[in-house]
Amino acid sequence: MSLSAFMTKEIISLEIDDNLSKAKQAFDKYNIHHILIKNGKELSGIITDRDLYKHLSPNIGTKKETPKDTFLLSKKINLIMSRELITAKENTSLNDAVLLFHDHHISCLPIVDDHFRPIGIISWRDIIKIIALQYRMKLANQHN
């Protein structure tokens, strides 16, 4: 089976020149772990919630927040995003995707078209869920 059957097509993305406050807002609003970063229509990078929180003060949004803490939110995403992208096409098999996750120690796999425009995303959590559901179906079929 190909990734097109499993990938999330509702992509949350930001532009390369957006600031970290926009990323924080997106992570908080959508409860996600990865944001694809575009330069125009093309995929340029990725930022994870871990990347963001490594660069922000834990005091943001608290009474202890300082002007320096607030200033960090104005940093540009392109300063902290990962540019070394491992991507896949929508016709990539699920097994090949599992190997990409394992071999490259990544937590998500952006799915791109022939022009390197993002058309979907799949995370390691999605892969675990798919494998678990397939295994449950196999067990159910064995008991019938």
Residues 72, 76: Cα–Cα separation, whole Å? 9
Over residues 53-74, mean pLDDT? 87
Residues 64, 62: Cα–Cα separation, whole Å? 5
**All domains of the chain, ordered by start, with CATH?**
3-142 (3.10.580.10)
Residues 11, 115: Cα–Cα separation, whole Å? 17
- In our burial notation (b when 16+ CB lie closer than 10 A, e otherwise), range 17-34 reads ebbbbebbebbeeeebeb
State residue 92's pLDDT score. Answer: 97
86-123: per-residue pLDDT in tens? 999 999 999 999 999 999 999 999 999 999 999 999 99
For the chain, give the mean pLDDT: 94
Residues 121, 108: Cα–Cα separation, whole Å? 7
Angle of helix 94-104 versus helix 124-142 axis, rounded to 10: 130
State residue 71's pLDDT score. Answer: 87
Q: How confident is the model at residue 58 (pLDDT cuts 50, 70, 90)?
A: confident
Residues 79, 123: Cα–Cα separation, whole Å? 23
Q: How confident is the model at residue 57 (pLDDT cuts 50, 70, 90)?
A: confident
Element (H, E) at 142: helix 124-142
- Asked if the model's pLDDT at residue 8 lies above 90, the reply is yes
CB-facing half-sphere around the CA of 4: CA atoms within 13 A? 6
- Asked if the model's pLDDT at residue 144 lies above 80, the reply is no
Residue with tokens 């394992």: 102
Q: How confident is the model at residue 62 (pLDDT cuts 50, 70, 90)?
A: confident
125-142: per-residue pLDDT in tens? 999 999 999 999 999 998
